[in-house]
Chain A
């Protein structure tokens, strides 16, 4: 089967796509191992500890050691648990966390599925993530996991609303829901990135700057809440709920929950990067130095993407280390009474700018 048409046919397409998906999953998994280590190092650094430093140089292999520890332990299923749902829940979290990566553009042209509703797809899949947690909490047939699951459901549904409106502001600026288009729209240097208003800073364009910068900050905070990270980690608040929905989970099912959670966190970092930080675009235009379309250009773009994602991951890690946990009513107040009205106003402002701003600029 050396026919060139084979790769364009349905079977060839299937094989190529599966290969790409595998490459993305393995790449994300391996980077997760080191990001997890980085998370613990940042956390340790803030608390003036050393953090993991035994396995491998600088403790770099710590995550792999943990992986084998989790896999080799016994799986314990509580007697009163709803067994199928109990086991499906972590699988669901894990699978959904990796499904979203299909539409993330890593570099120009490097995307598994370049669909027109990319941002909606991301939003849809991340809104499904709550099921893993709520199912796990219910199926454990225990009080603390159940409370954790309920908290998580209410929290994630609340913050999805403002997250949706923030995404709409970016979609309005880009005029497209395709993630590659959104990134391409931010080409040409840091002053064109969406967190500074996405180009056209002169004249009336300046009104977009404070609005979009605020949207970026709100997206970051909502992402913390959406991924159940501190200071919004109420579903697994140790001081109240032991470990929330994860109490009854052990070994591999727990590992799946944890990997899914971290994959979601990194996904949120990638989303902020794409929506507000120009995706793979270089902060200083580099088209004149390296010709676009060459392999070197693509690799450097990929490098910029990774650097930005790691930057946002460190922001997530620092927030975990230095911010005290919110109370649940404060969390709900922030989501519904502060973020929702502010993001609605921002949608109105950006939409008005897109319709009328061009006449005066």
Chain B
């Protein structure tokens, strides 16, 4: 059963990954990317890492990919134009691709021989501990400074993005709910006795 589930999920991940780069329509590409994320989450569940699987779905599928899809849908991408220069970039693209492939093979062989796959996984907690607790323990004890630093990096990135895109436009009328709610009758209404034939002077 486990093997069947693994092969189905793995096949879906690989096929949808391939379709991400071959699909003609960019929106279809993003949808296949989402499918790849989702089946990768399924693979995590098979490995017993249900917390990581849920995080993958919540963060990548539920938030990042939605914004991605949002932007891609509004872009007007003309693929015939994009494909015109395809042959010129092919050699550089192939060099980068081959380099990445070599690195991937090196990493995976290193993991297979000396890493977690070789049975030398780091300290294994008791089976009664759920993997949320296990991750929490490692994250907030051994790696707490790294964890906090990662948070700070994200904060800096966020502030940077806000600073880059924030524009103070003075001509835009904005709603200030506080002034609306605290407005009283005497601030807005003045009763003036108007003499006949004179009108109101400001």
Contacts and interface: CB of A to CB of B under 8 A. Distances in A.
Interface string A327-338: 001100100000
B31 A329 contact: no
B132 A128 contact: no
Contacts of B69: 131, 134, 153
A117 B34 contact: no
A330 B73 CA distance: 25
B70 A154 contact: yes
Contacts of B28: 85
Interface size, B (range): 20 to 34
Given A134-B70, A138-B27, A150-B70, A117 B61 contact: no
Main secondary structure of the interface of A (DSSP, over half): helix
Contact of B1 (A10, A116, A128, A164): A10
A124 interface: yes
A270 interface: no
A65 interface: no
A120 interface: yes
A124 B50 contact: no
A85 B27 CA distance: 10
Interface string A77-121: 000001001000000000000000000000000000001110011
A115 B66 contact: no
B70 A153 contact: yes
Given A85-B31, A127-B57, A115 B50 contact: yes
A30 B101 CA distance: 53
A160 B132 contact: no
B10 interface: no
Nearest to B64: A157
A120 B54 contact: yes
B6 interface: no
B62 A160 contact: yes
B49 to A, nearest CB: 10
B84 interface: no
A116 B55 CA distance: 14
20 contacts: A82-B25, A85-B28, A116-B50, A116-B130, A117-B51, A117-B54, A121-B54, A124-B57, A124-B62, A127-B57, A127-B58, A127-B62, A128-B57, A131-B69, A135-B31, A138-B73, A146-B73, A164-B58, A329-B175, A333-B177
